[in-house]
């Protein structure tokens, strides 16, 4: 039996209070001066004495209640024999070494390595040890070996990575290793700077029940200045037909001291082009805007860099920009002069920058093969399509192209039109009486993204005097309907591509939609959706994966080269999914064929800026989470015998004592009332 808060026992001195009061009361409580005790002295004394005996019972009850409450506050617990910690025998030790980039701050990495070496040196001949290096992922460097030297060598080889800290994966790996062990004593040593951001409250870790977790904190005072580039925003603009970018960087000072005169520089192509000086208050964020820079060519590499400070890796933020390439669009229309109806449509495609569209109008019998291959979208504008072109278009769509069919009065499609999402029916003439209007529109669809917000575009303003009656096929999706319920816009996925069918014209022949404000965003939305356009991200964060599809489309057998020079084959039989784990620029090159060796694309990779925040967490929090996750009263994972707090928490004797004390107080009240009434 022991006490968690023995100082509370001082409260037992409070027991003296009722006794003291009782003693005083017996003789001196409320002295009443009375002229003469002549008569009182004649009255027998017995009534007084009887009362005193009753008082003793009440007093004992009060004392018991007080003592119980005081004991409850001192939180007693029964010391139970510990299971394994004090036992002897060979140990299975897992050394978890944090190698996140924050370990590069100050002398943390040296301290951590020292701690790891010490843990390894403490091993006896019969012990087995593993070394797990972890940042956001855990890597088992050495698995369960008796060879102490291997562990020491692995520790010496380890170095901080560019990753962020996450404790849960490392602890899970440790749990797996310890679970597999047959040795009697299980230990895990967690060496880290214990950053708060590395531990999510929801993380669950599964250490075996008998395992102990020894946290070794290398966290030191955060005295050295530590600032980081938290974010970079790139704004594009066009100036005299040249594309320009304006870089806006946000710099955060994580330290508790202000940083006056911090210089922030912008590097383009590895060369510093601008430097801006700014003051950052302690714990604050400052924004820096650089002068616009012209985008001279594809894959322009940029870096926003701070002067070196306590933590080096968060001082640079890389990005890659390329000139925006126009989306190639072929508009198949009747020959010019024969009543071309593409005027409004082509004008609409000529507007806009993100993306811009390069539309070329071709008659149905003159669509060149190479042009079709390059095109992202083909628009068939109210023409009769021959079977030859229909077949080519089917191939085009199946390979990932987008097809927009505008069904006017002249549109026909050979072969039953199974490429189209709906079969073309007759013409519905709405020129007499009320014109038809667009009723239901699927605003949830990506192509209507621009209209999703309230009051952003009114499709019902447009009047439709004629449209083709469509019968949607079962595998298609109707995106818009006329107010009579007939489909107006139908979509279908074919192969890798998509087909959209619009039931009316895009000129003024059948409707006035081309004159309405919704027309331009409608056309842009449709083309963007068909071209599957997505702006390339200016950078990735360490830990994300490269998408080989988007990077290697233009080169054969692409190979990615990491900033440190490692080559990874992205396509072919030996292809790997590449997880970027280094800060800097990854280059994708063609390994052979045309353009071998030339850089096809560049990907900027940045470190997770959250890791810059060195705010520590109490290691006990992680240890406690491990305890709770395993459940029950047992040895806590601290390497020491189960802490008294944990033992007490498991037993909760205080609760019983407090309840008993309150019950005693209740009984005292009842008894006291009854006595005073008697």
Partner 1 sequence: MEPSSPIPGARFVDPAVLARIGNLELIAKSIVDGFINGLHKAPFYGSSVDFAEHRGYVPGDDVRRIDWRVFARTERFYVKEYEADTNANFSVLLDMSKSMDFGTRGITKFEYARILAGCLTNLVHRQRDRVGLVAFDDDIREHVPPSAKHMEVVLHTLDKLVPVRAGKLLPPMKKLAEFFGRRGLLVVISDLYEEPEAVAEAIGPLRFRGNDVIVFHVLDPSELDFTFPDASSFEDLESGVQIPVVPEGLRDEYRTLVKAHTEALRKKLAGHRVDYAVLDTSKPLDFALFSYLNMRARLMRTR
Judged by beta carbon, residue 1 or residue 31, the one nearer partner 1 is 31
Residue 45: CB minimum distance to partner 1, A: 8
Judged by beta carbon, residue 50 or residue 373, the one nearer partner 1 is 50
Among candidate residues 174, 166, 170, 172, the one with its CA nearest the CA of residue 93: 174
Residue 15: CB minimum distance to partner 1, A: 23
Q: Report d(CA 13, CA 16) in Å as an integer.
A: 6
Judged by beta carbon, residue 48 or residue 670, the one nearer partner 1 is 48
Specify whether the CB–CB gap between 408 and 428 falls below 8 A.
no
Among candidate residues 250, 249, 229, 248, the one with its CA nearest the CA of residue 311: 229
Three-class secondary structure of residue 337 per DSSP: coil
Concatenating the DSSP letter of every residue in 462-505 gives: S-BSEEEEEEE-TT-EEEEEETTS-EEEEEEEETTEEEEEESS-
Specify whether the CB–CB gap between 490 and 470 falls below 8 A.
yes
Judged by beta carbon, residue 43 or residue 577, the one nearer partner 1 is 43
Q: Give one word for 416, left, alpha or beta, with left for phi > 0 and alpha for psi -120 to 50.
A: left
Residue 666: CB minimum distance to partner 1, A: 24
Judged by beta carbon, residue 32 or residue 453, the one nearer partner 1 is 32
Q: Which residues, 6 or more positions from 72, have their beta carbon under 8 angstroms from its beta carbon?
A: 653, 654, 655, 657, 658, 661
Residue 668: CB minimum distance to partner 1, A: 18
Among candidate residues 544, 666, 676, 661, the one with its CA nearest the CA of residue 8: 661
Residue 43: CB minimum distance to partner 1, A: 5
Specify whether the CB–CB gap between 587 and 602 falls below 8 A.
yes
Judged by beta carbon, residue 21 or residue 656, the one nearer partner 1 is 21
Residue 56: CB minimum distance to partner 1, A: 15
Please give the residue ranges that form the binding site for partner 1 (CB under 8 A): 26-43, 45, 47-48, 51
Q: Report d(CA 511, CA 513) in Å as an integer.
A: 6
Judged by beta carbon, residue 45 or residue 239, the one nearer partner 1 is 45
Judged by beta carbon, residue 41 or residue 434, the one nearer partner 1 is 41
C-alpha Rg value of the chain to the nearest Å: 40
CA dihedral of residues 15, 21, 22, 24 (deg, nearest 10): 140
CA dihedral of residues 300, 306, 311, 316 (deg, nearest 10): -10
How far apart are the two ends of the chain, measured CA to CA in Å?
42
Residue 33: CB minimum distance to partner 1, A: 5
Judged by beta carbon, residue 43 or residue 350, the one nearer partner 1 is 43
Residue 645: CB minimum distance to partner 1, A: 48
Q: Report d(CA 109, CA 170) in Å as an integer.
A: 18
Residue 667: CB minimum distance to partner 1, A: 22
Specify whether the CB–CB gap between 524 and 518 falls below 8 A.
no
Residue 23: CB minimum distance to partner 1, A: 13
Q: Position of tokens 């047992």?
A: 634
Judged by beta carbon, residue 31 or residue 535, the one nearer partner 1 is 31
Specify whether the CB–CB gap between 510 and 465 falls below 8 A.
yes
Compute φ and ψ for 238, nearest 5 degrees: -120, 130
Judged by beta carbon, residue 27 or residue 434, the one nearer partner 1 is 27
Angle at 404 between CA 402 and CA 408, to 5 degrees: 165
Judged by beta carbon, residue 373 or residue 674, the one nearer partner 1 is 674
Q: Report d(CA 174, CA 637) in Å as an integer.
A: 12
Among candidate residues 320, 101, 134, 97, the one with its CA nearest the CA of residue 228: 101
Residue 673: CB minimum distance to partner 1, A: 16
Q: Report d(CA 186, CA 127) in Å as an integer.
A: 10
The token pair at 393 is 């278009």
| Burial zone of 542 (CB within 10 Å; 0-12 exposed, 13-18 middle, 19+ buried) | buried
Judged by beta carbon, residue 7 or residue 37, the one nearer partner 1 is 37
Judged by beta carbon, residue 31 or residue 594, the one nearer partner 1 is 31
The token pair at 516 is 């309405």
Compute φ and ψ for 497, nearest 5 degrees: -105, -175
Residue 58: CB minimum distance to partner 1, A: 13
Residue 29: CB minimum distance to partner 1, A: 7
Residue 71: CB minimum distance to partner 1, A: 32
Angle at 470 between CA 465 and CA 476, to 5 degrees: 135
């Amino acid at each position: 039996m022991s006490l968690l808060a023995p100082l509370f026992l001082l409260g037992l001195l409070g027991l003296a209070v009722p006794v003291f009061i009782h003693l005083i009361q017996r003789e001196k409580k409320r002295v009443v001066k009375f002229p003469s005790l002549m008569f009182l002295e004649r009255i027998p004394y017995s009534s007084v004495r009887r009362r005193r005996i009753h008082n003793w019972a009440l007093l004992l009850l009060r004392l018991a209640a007080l003592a119980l409450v005081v004991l409850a506050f001192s939180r007693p617990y029964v010391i139970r024999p510990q299971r394994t910690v004090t036992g002897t025998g060979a140990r299975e030790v897992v050394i978890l070494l944090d190698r996140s980039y924050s370990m590069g701050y100050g002398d943390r990495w040296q301290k951590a390595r020292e701690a790891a070496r010490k843990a390894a040196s403490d091993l006896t001949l019969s012990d087995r040890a593993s070394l797990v290096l972890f940042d956001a992922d855990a890597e088992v460097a050495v698995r369960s070996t008796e060879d102490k030297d291997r562990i020491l060598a692995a520790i010496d080889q380890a170095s901080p990575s560019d990753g962020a800290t996450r404790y849960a994966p490392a602890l899970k790996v440790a749990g797996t290793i310890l679970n597999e062990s047959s040795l009697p004593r299980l230990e895990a040593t967690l060496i880290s700077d214990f950053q708060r951001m590395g531990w999510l409250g929801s993380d669950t870790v599964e250490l075996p029940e008998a395992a102990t977790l020894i946290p070794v904190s290398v966290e030191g005072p955060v005295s050295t200045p530590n600032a980081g580039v938290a974010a970079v925003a790139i704004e594009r603009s066009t100036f005299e037909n040249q594309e320009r970018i304006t870089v806006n960087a946000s710099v955060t000072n994580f330290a508790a001291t202000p940083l006056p005169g911090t210089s922030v520089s912008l590097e383009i192509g590895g060369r510093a082009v601008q430097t801006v000086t700014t003051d950052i208050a302690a714990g604050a964020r400052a924004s820096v805007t650089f002068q616009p820079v012209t985008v001279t060519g594809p894959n322009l590499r940029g870096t926003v860099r701070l002067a070196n400070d306590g933590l080096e890796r968060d001082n640079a933020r890389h990005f890659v920009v390329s000139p925006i390439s126009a989306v190639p669009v072929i508009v198949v229309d009747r020959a010019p002069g024969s009543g071309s109806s593409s005027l409004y449509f082509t004008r609409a495609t000529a507007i806009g920058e993100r993306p811009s569209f390069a539309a070329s109008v071709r008659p149905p019998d003159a669509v060149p093969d190479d042009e079709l291959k390059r095109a992202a979208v083909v628009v068939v504008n109210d023409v009769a399509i021959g079977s030859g072109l229909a077949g080519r278009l089917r191939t085009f769509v199946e390979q990932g192209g987008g097809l927009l069919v505008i069904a006017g009065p002249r549109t026909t499609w050979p072969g039953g039109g199974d490429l189209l999402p709906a079969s073309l029916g007759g013409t519905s003439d709405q020129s007499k009486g009320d014109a038809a209007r667009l009723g239901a529109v699927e605003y949830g669809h990506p192509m209507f993204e621009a209209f999703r917000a309230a009051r952003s575009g009114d499709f019902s303003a447009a009047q439709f005097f004629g449209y083709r009656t469509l019968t949607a096929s079962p595998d298609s999706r109707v995106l818009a309907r006329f107010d009579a319920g007939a489909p107006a816009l139908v979509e279908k996925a074919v192969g890798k591509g998509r087909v959209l069918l619009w039931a009316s014209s895009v000129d003024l022949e059948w409707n006035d939609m081309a004159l309405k404000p919704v027309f331009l965003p409608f056309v842009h939305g449709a083309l963007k959706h068909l071209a599957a356009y997505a702006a390339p991200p200016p950078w990735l964060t360490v830990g994300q994966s490269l998408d080989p599809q988007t990077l290697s489309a233009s080169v054969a057998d692409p190979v990615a080269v990491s900033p440190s020079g490692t080559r990874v084959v992205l396509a072919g039989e030996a292809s790997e999914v590449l997880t970027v784990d280094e800060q800097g620029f990854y280059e994708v090159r063609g390994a052979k064929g045309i353009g071998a060796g030339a850089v096809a694309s560049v990907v900027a990779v940045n470190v997770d800026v959250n890791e810059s925040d060195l705010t520590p967490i109490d290691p006990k929090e992680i240890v406690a989470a491990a305890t709770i996750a395993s459940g029950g009263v047992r040895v806590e994972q601290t390497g020491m015998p189960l802490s008294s707090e944990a033992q007490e928490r498991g037993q909760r004797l205080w609760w019983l004592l407090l309840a008993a004390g309150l019950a005693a107080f209740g009984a005292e009240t009842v008894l006291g009332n009854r006595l005073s009434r008697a």
